[in-house]
């Protein structure tokens, strides 16, 4: 009887350790994804700024006009 109790306690501890591990992993994944997203955005900004500024501005203007006209 005693051995069973010890075993179940150990498995409970292991389970709780595993669950905290998983939540930490999830947090780490989210953090990594956020970092990747930030990197993508900065790369995108760099690409956009390296392009001809006129074409970018024109594109933004036409987009704004489209959005305004649809409302």
* Whole-number Å distance between alpha carbons of 36 and 55: 27
Q: DSSP 3-state assignment of 1? A: coil
pLDDT at residue 71 tops 60: no
What is the reported pLDDT for 37?
93
0.85 exceeded by pTM: no
Q: Which two tokens stand for residue 61?
A: 């203007």
Q: Quick: pLDDT tens for 8-34.
A: 777 878 878 878 888 888 998 999 999
Q: Quick: pLDDT tens for 33-70.
A: 999 999 999 988 888 888 765 555 555 666 666 666 65
- Sequence-distant (6+) residues with CB within 8 A of 49 are 56
Q: Which two tokens stand for residue 22?
A: 């998983």
């Amino acid at each position: 009887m005693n051995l069973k109790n010890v075993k179940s306690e150990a498995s409970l501890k292991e389970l709780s350790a595993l669950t905290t591990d998983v939540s930490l992993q999830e947090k780490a994944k989210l953090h990594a994804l956020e970092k990747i997203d930030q990197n993508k955005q900065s790369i995108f900004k760099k690409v956009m700024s390296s392009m001809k500024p006129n074409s970018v501005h024109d594109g933004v203007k036409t987009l704004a006009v489209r959005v305004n006209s649809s409302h």
